[in-house]
A and B are shown apart, each in its own frame.
Chain A
């Protein structure tokens, strides 16, 4: 088990790079405040979008009187509405996340910080949640650059010992955070009951879900030898193995099948799935993979 790294979650260079990005949602959400983004919703803004026929009850302020004069028909000007985005980051802080160099949790914190910073810069509504803590210690709601430090403090305070079943914690999350928005779930998806049940709760909410699965190197390529009694860090369950090449090969096959099943499950249900090693670069993750997947631009 590795203690969480004291390294800063975000470096100045990275902050600079992230400032230029913004979070995007593929779905149309209605935020509570007007944000700095052009929503796909038509609304009140200076940016013209289209005309439509007037129906009684429409705001007469948006009738195009010039057209009425020319055509003797009432048309309503429709503008693109600029609105804010609800951005959620759910971090799995179970004990299993405390492995790897850096730990998976550290990676999750960095990723959350980076994405959260992008949201803060665009005055989106950013909410961070630790899975299993949604009820007892709900995460802060952040908006605006000035909340950066609150966000970082919150993240730094997350400790990897929240051993709540994955499904249970996601259910709690969904109950606490109703509404629309973009949800980034950072977890290793390692749950004895299976990740499917937990992810199903997310489907009940109109979230634009991004699942980032983090695995440590020791999980992806275990270097084990001899007769071992493997003890589960979360439930202290143990499995006896005699490490051998065929066994490790079998493990690799199982791992590949597991990752593939997670990817298939997410893809079939409209979630975006990403897998990353805990020692991968967060910067590259954000500016590379997430950009191609359309979370940021």
Chain B
């Protein structure tokens, strides 16, 4: 406790004279006005009645004196400004950025890191001086202004208490842009140079986070003074599922395997059990020992799995529960609907209608004249097919489906074909792409003629010849179009159908057709879909034409999305981790499921970063705020006011008592 004198010596002398004057007044009784009355006989008797308990009267009089002296003493004490060292916020404008990402739900700080952040924030708000303004922004992978600049502290407290944790990843970029927008106003360029368009408002940027985000290199702090308040204990205990996939076993036909990779971000070796359940029933379990800062992979043999929801969970409780579970939706609910339009291509038709192909796709073969019918136009517009193959023909308009053009390019701007060249030779194949996976074109000896395809921006070349791409794939809205730069079967000069390549005779051809049916038919290659991350919108398609989809969230809430364009629905409320069930239109039947998983290394790594990089600056975590004085004069004055009121009460009791 220290004192801070606010009065000059002569002022103190004046002040000290006040209690002396009060005491003097009590003795001199200067207050009473003399009044001559006929006789004080009755008055004396009246007052004597009052003075029956004279001792109390005297006490009461001295009580008044004591109260007045106490009042003065309190006022004097207030003038001394007693105070002690406390914390104060530097500056008068504050921006509070609060991380609400998944890792902030960690319980290494009780009850959670976000709650701890709220406590610290509330303490900061308590220390705000009157007139200080603060902006409250919560961020995960998106920033949200919880409260715009205000000096209303109760409003800030209310908004702070209202913040809820999310299950999203963290991304500081957007939150920083919000903060910087106010502190560093934009500039416009004129001939004479840059002109600032608004006055800069320097602010102190408080960052409440565990640092689980990418550093932000291309950001200039400008007028912002950053203070990083790291949250969480330095040695958290957490094991998170980093990856989960369900694949066919390429070696064993019909067998399905689930792979999971777990990472221990803690500082101690842990042993625990990972369980796999299908549709809620335990299917398999595996005991794991994961070294500190190490990782472990698990493989589950599933046999033949048709359909179901797979869930793996790490059974050992740790500080973050969100990353201990991952989901996958398995099973092919139905076969892809494929239309093959050809003027005769026995090789392609037979490859597309093998028993294996029939298991994944239902292929309808039509002649090129079918393209001119109304039935085709209606079906193409209504997305009756998942995938259309145009063999040496071009549709009048692109269908609402994936397409593969053989010997043609899609009739779209961006696509163009080079001149026909004799004997092109494929020198490179993209083996990573699902279309050309395991496809060995080296065995194809003859391609009689072909043309180089130039795809639109973003197109990928899968077959590369000496003169250019021969197989190109590019996306179109929610669909993908592929084009092959040579014919498999073509017409000779006399109009007869002749093979134009020996590819159909090679084993790579049926494999390629299977890839095409699987990938462009919408069957992605894997048996199960692990799903996206929270906060990332899911693009959905309805199986049958429908105006809306009803999506049941993992929490049980039902959300309805309406059709955006032809057959695409965008569902943005993927905030929760778990499996979402989709039913179409008014039907109650669940036609699709998709999962949302965290699977994020940064969120699972709970150790708070010692420093974060903002632009060129490295901000080190700061635990204690700047030291300042906590003052006592306000409570003292309030107490003095209370004493004054009490004195008034006693005085009135004396008069009316």
Q: Report which A residues bind B (CB closer than 8 A).
A: 1, 95-99, 104, 188, 190-192, 216, 218-219, 222, 224, 226-234, 237-242, 244-247, 250-251, 254-255, 258
The interface residues of chain B lying within 8 Å CB-to-CB of A237 are: 40, 44
**24 A-B Cβ contacts within 8 A?**
A95-B38, A96-B39, A98-B38, A188-B38, A191-B41, A216-B38, A218-B38, A219-B37, A219-B39, A219-B42, A228-B32, A229-B33, A230-B36, A230-B43, A231-B34, A231-B35, A232-B36, A233-B36, A238-B40, A240-B47, A250-B50, A254-B45, A254-B49, A258-B42
Decide if B422 is an interface residue (CB 8 Å cutoff).
no
Contacts A226-B33, A227-B32, A233-B36 given; does A241 touch B43 at CB 8 Å: yes
Q: A240 touching B42 by the CB < 8 A rule?
A: no
B37 touches A230 (CB 8 A): yes
Nearest A residue (CB) for B654: A242
The 10 A-B residue pairs whose C-beta atoms are closest, nearest first, are: A190-B39, A96-B38, A229-B32, A244-B655, A232-B40, A99-B38, A239-B40, A229-B34, A251-B46, A227-B32
B31 at the interface (CB under 8 A from A): yes
**Beyond A228-B35, A230-B37, A231-B40, 8 extra complex contacts between A and B, CB < 8 Å:** A97-B38, A227-B33, A232-B36, A239-B43, A240-B29, A240-B47, A251-B46, A258-B45
Q: Do A228 and B33 touch (CB < 8 A)?
A: yes
A64 to B37, CA, bound (A): 68
Q: Is B46 touching A254 in the complex (CB atoms < 8 A)?
A: yes
Instruction: Give the nearest-CB partner of B49 in chain A.
Output: A250
Min C-beta distance of A262 to chain B, whole Å = 12
Chain A residues within 8 Å of B656, by CB: 244-246
Q: A241 is contacted by which of B29, B38, B41, B47 (Cβ under 8 Å)? A: B47
Q: Please state if A224 and B50 are interface contacts (CB–CB under 8 Å).
A: no
Q: Which residues of chain A are within 8 angstroms of B31 by Cβ–Cβ distance?
A: 227
The interface residues of chain B lying within 8 Å CB-to-CB of A238 are: 34, 40
CB distance from B29 to the nearest CB of A (A): 7
B556 at interface, CB cutoff 8 A:
no
Interface pair B38/A233, CB less than 8 Å apart: yes
The minimal Cβ–Cβ distance linking A263 to chain B, given in whole angstroms, is 16
CA distance A233 to B43 in the complex (A): 13
**Contact flag A232-B37 (CB < 8 Å), given A246-B656, A247-B655:** yes
| A96→B45 CA distance, assembly (Å) | 17
Check B42 against A255 for contact (C-beta < 8 Å): yes
Q: Which residues does chain B contribute within 8 Å of A224, judged by CB atoms?
A: 35
Whether, in the assembled complex, B458 has its beta carbon less than 8 Å from a beta carbon of chain A, the answer is no
Q: Is the CB of B36 within 8 A of A254?
A: no
Q: Which residues of B contact A97 (CB under 8 A)?
A: 38
| Interface presence of B495 (CB below 8 A) | no
Q: Which of B38, B49, B50, B655 contacts A219 (CB under 8 A)?
A: B38
Point out the residues of chain B lying under 8 angstroms from A230, CB to CB.
34-37, 40, 43
In the complex, what residue of chain B is closest to A100 when comparing beta carbons?
A: B38
Answer yes or no: B193 CB below 8 A from chain A CBs: no
Q: B199 an interface residue at 8 Å Cβ cutoff? A: no
A239–B31 CA distance with the chains assembled, in angstroms: 14
In the complex, B419 has a CB within 8 A of chain A: no
Chain A residues in 8 Å Cβ range of B46 = 241, 247, 250-251, 254
Q: Which residues of chain B have C-beta atoms less than 8 A from A239's C-beta? A: 40, 43-44, 47
Chain B 1-51 residues near chain A, CB threshold 8 A? 29, 31-47, 49-50
How far apart are the CA atoms of A222 and B40 in the complex, in Å?
A: 12
| Interface residue B657 (Cβ < 8 Å from any Cβ of A) | yes
Within 8 A of A (CB), among B430-457: none
Query: Given the complex, which residues of A lie within 8 Å of B32, measured CB to CB?
Result: 227-229, 240
Contact B41–A190 (Cβ < 8 Å): yes
Max chain B Cβ within 10 angstroms of own Cβ: one of A222, A254, A258: A254
State A190–B39 Cα separation when bound (angstroms).
7
Number of interface residues of B (CB under 8 A): 24
Distance in angstroms between the alpha carbons of A37 and B214 in the assembled complex: 133
**Hey, which chain A residues are within 8 Å of B50, CB to CB?**
247, 250
Contacts of A219 in B (CB 8 A): 37-39, 42
Chain B positions 278-309 with a Cβ under 8 Å from a chain A Cβ: none
B154 CB to closest chain A CB (Å) equals 43
How far is B39's CA from A191's CA once the two chains are assembled, in angstroms?
Answer: 8
Q: In the assembly, what is the distance between CA of A188 and CA of B37, in Å?
A: 13
Q: Which of B45, B46, B656 has the most CB of A within 10 A?
A: B46
Task: Report the separation of the CA atoms of residues A216 and B45 in the bound assembly, to the nearest whole angstrom.
Answer: 19
Q: How far is the CA of A237 from the CA of B36 in the complex (A)?
A: 10
Q: Which of B29, B33, B35, B657 has the most CB of A within 10 A?
A: B35
With a cutoff of 8 Å between Cβ atoms, the chain A residues found around residue B43 in the complex are: 230, 239, 241, 251
Measured CB to CB, the closest approach of chain A to B277, in angstroms, equals 85
Contact A233 B45 (CB under 8 A): no
Give the distance to chain B from A112, nearest Cβ to Cβ, in Å.
19
CA distance A277 to B39 in the complex (A): 16
B42–A251 CB distance below 8 A: yes
Q: Are A233 and B39 in contact, with the CB atoms below 8 A?
A: yes
- Give the residue name and chain of the A residue nearest to B45 (CB): A254
- Known A-B contacts A244-B656, A245-B656, A247-B50; the reply to A231 vs B37 at CB < 8 A is yes
Query: In the complex the two chains form, what is the Cα distance from A216 to B37 in whole Å?
Result: 11
Nearest CB of A to B36, in Å? 5
Residue of B nearest to A229 (CB): B32
Contacts of A240 in B (CB 8 A): 29, 32, 47
User: In the bound complex, how far is the Cα of B47 from the Cα of A255, in angstroms?
Assistant: 13
Within the complex, the shortest CB–CB distance from B657 to chain A, in Å, comes to: 7
Tell me the nearest residue of chain A to B43, going by C-beta.
A239
Expressed in whole angstroms, the minimum distance between the Cβ of B582 and any Cβ of chain A is 82
Residues of A within 8 A of B41 (CB): 190-192, 232
Residues of A near B36 (CB, < 8 A) are 1, 230-233
CA gap between A255 and B35 in the complex, in Å:
19
Chain A residues with CB below 8 A from B45, complex form: 254, 258
Contact with A along B160-191 (1 / 0, CB 8 A): 00000000000000000000000000000000
CA distance A228 to B43 in the complex (A): 11
Residue from B34, B35, B41, B657 whose CB has the most chain A CB atoms within 10 Å: B41
Minimum CB distance partner of A215 in chain B? B38
Which B residues touch A255, using CB under 8 A? 42
Complex CA gap A190/B656 in Å reads: 27
Separation of A227 and B30 alpha carbons in the complex (Å):
10
**A190 nearest CB neighbor, chain B only:** B39
| CA–CA, A250 and B45, complex, Å | 10
In the complex, A234 Cα to B562 Cα: how many Å?
Answer: 105
Tell me how far the C-beta of B384 lies from the nearest C-beta in chain A, rounded to whole angstroms.
Answer: 98
Q: Tell me the complex Cα distance, A219–B37, Å.
A: 8
Cα of A229 to Cα of B45 in the assembled complex, Å: 15
Distance in angstroms from B35 CB to nearest chain A CB is: 5
Bound CA span A32–B36, Å: 46
Question: Considering the chains assembled together, what is the distance between the CA atoms of A230 and B41 in angstroms?
Answer: 11
Q: Name the CB-closest residue of B to A237.
A: B40
The B531-545 residues at the A interface (CB cut-off 8 A) are none
Closest residue of chain A to B34, judged by CB?
Answer: A229
A107→B260 CA distance, assembly (Å): 120
B37 touches A233 (CB 8 A): yes
* Complex contacts, A247 vs chain B, CB 8 Å: 46-47, 50, 655
In the complex, chain B residues whose CB is within 8 Å of the CB of A244:
655-656
CA distance A77 to B657 in the complex (A): 74
Chain B residues numbered 102-135 whose CB sits less than 8 Å from any CB in chain A: none
Question: Cβ of A234 and Cβ of B39 under 8 Å apart?
Answer: yes
CB within 8 Å for A190 and B38 given contacts A230-B43, A241-B47, A247-B46: yes
The reply to whether B35 and A229 form a contact with Cβ atoms under 8 Å apart is: yes
A92 to chain B, nearest CB (A): 11
* In the bound complex, CA of A244 to CA of B657 (Å): 10
Closest Cβ–Cβ distance, residue B655 to chain A (whole Å): 4
Bitwise interface map of B from 637 to 657 toward A, beta carbon under 8 Å scored 1, else 0: 000000000000000001111
Report the bound CA distance from A228 to B29 in whole Å: 11
B29 nearest CB neighbor, chain A only: A240
As a 0/1 sequence over residues 615 to 656 of chain B, the CB contacts with chain A under 8 angstroms (1 = contact) are 000000000000000000000000000000000000000111
Chain A neighbourhood of B39, CB < 8 A: 96, 188, 190, 192, 219, 232-234
User: In the docked arrangement, what's the CA distance between A232 and B657, Å?
Assistant: 25
